[in-house]
Amino acid sequence: DVKVTQSSRYLVKRTGEKVFLECVQDMDHENMFWYRQDPGLGLRLIYFSYDVKMKEKGDIPEGYSVSREKKERFSLILESASTNQTSMYLCASSLTGGVYGYTFGSGTRLTVV
């Protein structure tokens, strides 16, 4: 089974801090994605990557950046955390084409205080 691992299950950070969320997948998937999930808003795409060192903006990239230096690792960076970035962050990966759907990590619940 594909495994997608997110480094932290729960995280509490202060406003203005730089926050790193790490995601690692172990099945050689080309594609990786970062979503956030909020009540009433569903999953919203932040950034995605189809290859190493490649990144594309999703629907809500403002306040975020990403890094993909290795195929198996996709990092989400909150440049200066704000309270409206309190959310559940979900990383996912897929094979090229995504025809088999995505596999998600177990999520990081981030609280910014």
Which residues contact another protein by CB under 8 A? Answer: 31, 33, 35, 40-43, 45, 48, 50, 58, 90, 96-107
Q: Nearest approach, Cβ of 72 to another protein (angstroms)?
A: 18
Residue carrying the six token digits 């495994």: 3
Is 84:92 a contact under the CB 8 Å cutoff? no
Cβ distance to another protein smaller for residue 15 or 96: 96
CB 21 within 8 A of CB 112: no
- Compute the least distance from the CB of residue 65 to another protein, in Å: 18
Q: Collapse the DSSP code of 70 into the 3-class scheme (helix H, G, I; strand E, B; otherwise coil) and give the result.
A: strand
